[in-house]
Amino acid sequence: MTTNLKLAWRNIWRNKRRTLITVASIFFGVLLSTLMTSLQEGTYSKMIENVVGFYSGYIQVHHPDFWEDKTIENTFTPSDTLINILENESGVTMYAPRLESFTLLSFKNNTKGVALIGIDPEKENQITKLSHWVEKGHYLTANDNGILVPINIAKNLGVDVGDTLVLMSQGFHGASAAALFPVKAILKFPAPTMNNLGVFIDIRAAQAFYSAPDKYTSMVLMVSDNSKVKHIRHSLQSKIKSHLKLMTWDEMDPLTNNMIKADREQNMITKAILFVLIGFGIFGTVIMMMAERRKELGVMVAIGMQKSKLGKIIFFETTLIGMVGVLIGFVVSLPLIAWLVYHPIPLTGETAKVYEQYGFEAAMYFSAHWTVFTQQVLIIFAMTMTVFIYPLVKIVRIKVSKDLHS
């Protein structure tokens, strides 16, 4: 055992150049597939970030019936324990309350039915960067009595900053709700649908308007990383003993989730092609290595080395070369990816313009999630071991009389 290992070790370093080339082909394999996987995962994370950062957040806390029946009756009053749990859950980075319902907006002779979203101006801004979309006027301050109107709704009603809107709706337990709100700002979202969706006011004003003091329809939670969402939801659900329902972003937006799933599965084909090409690259070097060592191996067998022992030595050589290759691949790709995560590759030209139009940052994003690395390292290592079936077959087929003459 130790002799075999020692022999394998010496064989590897006997011809450094040969070893280096084989190691290099394994190294490039790891590097390329890591880069590709990292880019792919980075793109998905960005997509998810866009979705959650735009409106939904990663997790929402609801009254159990709210999602099916979004009325002002399905609200909840957050208890101190709930706030405590959210504050102390390590993965939750931010949370913001909302009170959403429908209202009629009137200005002069124009009336329109839209969603009314009561928000905590400061907390909401940390999550969805709402103030970023202010086209004209000013964002809400704490305890503001103003209203933020998206551009399409403003155009339809013919209102501008400074005008006063009449809001009419039905409040909690059928109370009638009516109030005046001055337009504080016009919002312009990059996504067209958001510009027709609804208007924003301070949550305390919304609670007063709907006669629902201290009530929320939802609490939006942000977490540090999408991969932790399921775990945090589970942890929160077990701590929150009341009937409240927790929903993750993929349950609220199954479309994006499906899109990512479909894309991921289709990318399997692309990755399979890449792995085959990498495999052939490694295979090519191994074939040449065997051609080069034909005589050497022939001599070994001629002087009485058992083929099985020779096979074992080759196996150790493979394992060592494969391990060195994937390790170097990992060691090089780690800082590279880490750098790319913080310095995404910017896109230019027409594509960049189209992306920006939709409010996406025009760049290619990378992910440094640990599975990106481990997966590639394991796959390439397994591939290297598979490719080395070829030398084993060659050894079994050694014919001393022929190979000595080559």
Partner 1 sequence: MMLIAVAWRNIWRNKTRSLVILISVCLGLAAGIFNMAFYYGMVDQRIETVIKTEASHIQVHHPSYLANPEKVFKIDNAEQIAEQIEAIPGVKSVSKRIMLNTMIQSPTAGSGVRIMGIDPEKEKAVTNLYTKVIEGNYLDSGKRNPILIGKKLAEKLKVKLKSKVVITLQDMEGNMTAASFRVEGIYESANTTFDEMNVFVRSNDIAHVLLLDEKSAHEIAVLLNTNDQMLQVASLIAAKLPKLEVKNWRQIMPEMNLIESSLDITMFIFIIIILLALLFGIINTMLMAVLERAKELGMLMAIGMTKRKIFTMILLETVLLSLFGGLLGMGVGWMLNIYFSIYGIDISVWSEAYRSMGFDTMIYTKLSFGTSMQIALMIFATGIIAAIYPAMKALKLNPADALRIDM
Which residues in this chain contact partner 1 in the complex, by CB under 8 A?
17-18, 21-22, 24-25, 28-29, 32, 35-36, 39, 152, 155-156, 255, 258-259, 261-262, 265-266, 269-270, 273-274, 276-278, 280-285, 287-289, 291-292, 294-295, 347, 350-351, 354-355, 357-358, 364, 406
Question: 262 vs 334, which CB is nearer to partner 1?
Answer: 262
Least distance from partner 1 to the Cβ atom of residue 15, Å: 8
Least distance from partner 1 to the Cβ atom of residue 92, Å: 29
Angle between helices 254-292 and 370-387 (to 10 degrees): 30
Separation of alpha carbons 25 and 31, rounded Å = 10
Least distance from partner 1 to the Cβ atom of residue 20, Å: 9
Question: 331 vs 354, which CB is nearer to partner 1?
Answer: 354
Cβ–Cβ under 8 Å, residues 63 and 76: yes
Phi, psi of 41 (to 5 degrees): -65, -35
Helix (H, G, I), strand (E, B) or coil at 96: strand
Question: 142 vs 268, which CB is nearer to partner 1?
Answer: 268
Q: Cα torsion at 69, 71, 72, 75 (round to 10°)?
A: 10
Question: 282 vs 337, which CB is nearer to partner 1?
Answer: 282
Cβ–Cβ under 8 Å, residues 19 and 13: yes
E strand segments, 317-385: 345-346, 363-364
Name the nearest CA neighbour of 32 among 247, 351, 239, 325.
Answer: 325
Question: 33 vs 207, which CB is nearer to partner 1?
Answer: 33
Count of CA atoms in the C-beta half-sphere (13 A) of 158:
6
Question: 208 vs 324, which CB is nearer to partner 1?
Answer: 324
Least distance from partner 1 to the Cβ atom of residue 33, Å: 9
Sole residue written with tokens 């709930």: 82
Name the nearest CA neighbour of 105 among 217, 197, 204.
Answer: 197
Least distance from partner 1 to the Cβ atom of residue 156, Å: 5
Least distance from partner 1 to the Cβ atom of residue 270, Å: 6
